[in-house]
A and B are shown apart, each in its own frame.
Chain A
Amino acid sequence: MKTLLLAAGLTAMTTLAHAQDKPVLTVYTYDSFVTDWGPGPAIEKAFETTCDCDLQLVAAGDGASLLSRIQLEGARSDADIVLGLDTNLTARAKATGLFATLSTSPNGLDVPVEWNDDTFAPYDWGYFAFIYDNTKLEKVPGSFQELINSHKNLKIIIQDPRSSTPGLGLLMWVKTAYPNTADQIWKALAPRILTVTKGWSEAYGMFLEGEADMVLSYTTSPAYHIIAEEDATKSAASFSEGHYLQIEVAGKLKSADQPELADKFLDFMTSNEFQSIIPTTNWMYPAKFPQEGLPKGFETLITPVDSLIASAKDAEEIRDIALSEWLTALSQ
């Protein structure tokens, strides 16, 4: 016990000593953003050359747990910025009263819907979609209805909305496409669902193993296989009901130690430099398309006819109802 405390004390001191040199901007974000395969390292390098500061990207959980973390820390938080919430969570995030309004609102965005949030700025977006192997699946369903009526052996894997961002996205997708009959849609979909996983990785991994014909992911997922693996066998199924849109955002905390630096980062977020890193690291559409255009391979992706999205306020209101409908339909 004693050595533990001693060790803890020593580490605490070295960390403090280290932090004195340059102003530190602390950004809480999700795990896959900060890893060497995500956008984090390149973005850190790019921003640090312009700001004479130390940008600390901290993996603090994804989606809802990122918000829980901020709620746990409250005004005491070391974070200046939270990056990685989406529009399904922004209303709740605002309600905590921990976020400051934006000093400048982003303009010239390429987000498929009009953006007028005064607290959060978007940095990328994508459509949820079911991914399939185009060498194996012959009759690709073109809507939830077709999915329901497809062959009884056609199976999909989805994620649990209680533990996964795409899972919650699908919940909202069905609810916005079928506001009044979502519960019946889920009931009818139940036989198609092979299983529900805790997170995206389990589901996608099981799909790649050939366990199911389709998996819930993003329309941009095939871009990874095309660009990074030169594998054109993965495609996204286009659904005629439209596809639900996920817009990922960042916001500044009221308790930020470095408010000016935070504003600077949020401006930098929609710069060409930041935005051109996003497509092939986060595998999403950048909020503002880079001047040189999207990387080759993105042009092969499907473009949904309709973008479905619940407003931040609606998302907060329908979330619990949609969840209980989902639970009831799939628990029978």
Chain B
Amino acid sequence: MTQYQKPTTLFEVLMGGTVLAFLLLLTVGTVIAVGTATSFQQGLNPSDWAAIRFTILQALTSAALSIMIAIPTARALARQQFRGRQIMISLLGAPFILPAIVAVLGIIAVWGRSGLISDGLKALGTEPLNIYGFTGIILAHIFFNLPLATRLILQGWLAIPSEHFRLAAQLGFSTSEINRRLERPMLLSIIPGAFLLIFLLCITSFAVALALGGGPRATTVELAIYQAIRFDFDLSKAATLAIIQFGICTLIALVALKIARPMDFTISLDQPAKRWDGHERRTRTFDKVLLLLVAFFLFAPLISILLKGLQPLLSLPTQVWPALWKSVSIAIPAALITTTSATALAALIASLSKHTATAVESVGFLTLAASPFVIGTGLFILLNPYFNPFALALPLTIAVNVIMSLPFALRIILPAITRNQNDYGRLGASLGMTGITFFRLAIWPRIKRALGFATGLSAALSMGDLGVVTLFAPPDFATLPLTMYRLMAAYQMDAAAGTALLLVATSLALFWIFDRGGRSDHFI
């Protein structure tokens, strides 16, 4: 089926263009601001190049492994029905939104030298585990990103029209034939984007990579940027490193988006996906064992966070509550603006020709490769001469949270919009349906699941964000993650554990409300 090419409307250009300009200002603009603020330039030394090599290597490994495990996991979730499936899908959002320090403590509670597994090994008389090093980094990155990859791929599975599965069942397709005819084309369209997303997330990893990486061998570009800004105050070097990070991002983005193939399934009647396959005994056993392993891997650290935080949660210091309110009042507007912006950008991309669309889409990913330190510092340099930075704390925090969660929202919403355009654009055009009517009848019902997921994810991400704009935070501007870090710095590890649990619970609740809202009349 050839793709339907809808003409780009002025509205789409204006809306999408504004978002695009905003993105470029905060990414490229801040780099330029940082790079031109000072004149001296140390240049890159061998350890910076080592950091660049290491960053790419760990990000490629983390992304590849996350995807490799996510594919069978998503398939198992798509084709098996079992009690707790819904809860498992909802909880998949949890690891992804954990603040770095909480995740590290959760992971070591299971995998550490004094963790669950090591205790078992010691009881058996063997040496405790030592994950510190490359293994530790990869483990942590899979913990963070496997759930995201699984959710993205699961979306793809559920997007295969159920009529196809029915037909496959009628024709007596085996599991491998279903795989070849239906699943592989779908995977080809979803995986490059998901891979790219995870790769980019791992690129800017810093605190986690260092803590579990066992030492300065695990220096990432992000740490080098942090060092340049904070330790050496060599802003031009920070800008150079940030540009290299953008370069890596753009390269991988172009490759990934080139490989990606749009899904070419025929129009369906939007019936809930029912599956007739996957009932062979071997397949069922495989799926169940896999899901159990994944559940243990993802949820054991979460349970340890829950157990540690439960008691202190009942006696949290009073400062925590205004911080919770502050974080929620950042997260909700940020999430709504993110979803609106991502929809505007996705609509623009869907209406462009392949090449332009790829370029615009790459810009949408750029913020993921942007260093939070560079964005923060760049904004500070740009705004400080004209504004009192403290007065801007709230709008800037929201703005930065928006651009930080935009790539995820775009990744989720774009496939839904493109598919819809392909399926119904022609029909809509032939019926003379345009604007609001077309949106209400044809687009909205088919993208709202994606919108709900995107909004939920953005809200949760904004909750957990430590605040790129700490440079702008006035004395009384304390978000929940910031309060948690402050408690830790004041030796109050128990109160911090309680705050962490509150943070995770609130993020999950926000995620669940929006995500659920989007699925209100669907059977996922």
Q: Interface residues, chain A, CB within 8 Å of chain B?
A: 1, 4-5, 7-8, 11-12, 15-16, 31-32, 34-38, 56-61, 64-65, 67-69, 71-73, 76, 78, 155, 160, 162-163, 190, 193-202, 204-206, 208-212, 221, 224-225, 228, 283, 324, 326-327, 330-331
Contact = CB atoms under 8 A, between A and B. Distances in A.
Interface string B364-402: 000000000000010011001101101110110011000
Interface of B: 18, 22, 37, 47, 50, 101, 104-105, 108-109, 112-114, 132, 136, 206-207, 210-217, 223, 226-227, 229-231, 233, 317, 319, 377, 380-381, 384-385, 387-388, 390-392, 394-395, 398-399, 470-471, 473-475, 485-493, 496
Nearest to B476: A34
B395 A31 contact: no
B233 A67 contact: yes
Given A12-B387, A61-B470, A209 B394 contact: no
Nearest to B478: A35
22 contacts: A8-B387, A8-B392, A12-B387, A31-B485, A31-B486, A32-B490, A35-B319, A57-B475, A61-B470, A72-B384, A76-B385, A193-B215, A194-B132, A199-B207, A202-B104, A202-B207, A205-B488, A206-B211, A211-B108, A211-B114, A327-B216, A330-B217
Contacts of B399: 4
A194 B113 contact: yes
Contacts of A162: 223, 226-227, 230-231
Given A64-B231, A76-B384, A206 B391 contact: no
B319 A36 contact: yes
A208 B490 CA distance: 14
B475 A58 contact: yes
Contact of B392 (A1, A11, A31, A37): A11
Given A196-B216, A327-B47, A11 B492 contact: no
Given A4-B399, A69-B471, A155-B113, A209 B491 contact: no
Nearest to A319: B231
A35 B388 contact: no
B50 A331 contact: yes
Contacts of A78: 388
A5 B214 CA distance: 44
B214 A195 contact: yes
B112 to A, nearest CB: 5
A40 to B, nearest CB: 9
A318 to B, nearest CB: 15
Chain A interface mostly: helix
Nearest to B47: A327
A163 B18 contact: no
A204 B496 CA distance: 13
Given A57-B475, A206-B108, A330-B216, A201 B231 contact: no
Given A202-B207, A283-B491, A35 B212 contact: no
Nearest to B488: A201
Nearest to A212: B113
A324 B426 CA distance: 63
A4 B398 contact: yes
B215 A32 contact: no
B216 A160 contact: yes
Contacts of A57: 475
Q: Nearest 9 A-B pairs (CB), nearest first?
A: A37-B490, A210-B114, A12-B391, A201-B488, A32-B489, A162-B227, A35-B486, A198-B207, A65-B230
Given A35-B486, A211-B108, A196 B113 contact: no
Contact of A31 (B226, B231, B394, B489): B489
Nearest to B227: A162
A200 B230 contact: no
A65 B373 CA distance: 11
A72 B395 contact: no
A16 B391 CA distance: 9
Contacts of A31: 485-486, 489
B475 A209 contact: no
B384 A196 contact: no
A122 B245 CA distance: 41
Contact of B211 (A71, A193, A198, A327): A198
Contact of A331 (B212, B217, B227, B488): B217
Contact of A206 (B105, B210, B394, B489): B105
Nearest to B19: A1
A58 B477 CA distance: 10
A138 B325 CA distance: 47
Contact of B210 (A8, A197, A200, A225): A197
Given A193-B215, A205-B105, A211-B112, A59 B475 contact: yes
Nearest to A228: B491
Nearest to A224: B491
Contacts of A199: 207
A76 B385 CA distance: 8
Nearest to A203: B211
Nearest to A12: B391
B489 A201 contact: yes
A37 B487 contact: yes
Contact of A163 (B230, B380, B394, B486): B230
A195 B215 contact: yes
A209 B105 contact: yes
A23 B113 CA distance: 54
A68 B37 CA distance: 13
Nearest to A10: B391
A21 B351 CA distance: 56
Contacts of A73: 384
B317 to A, nearest CB: 7
Nearest to A71: B233
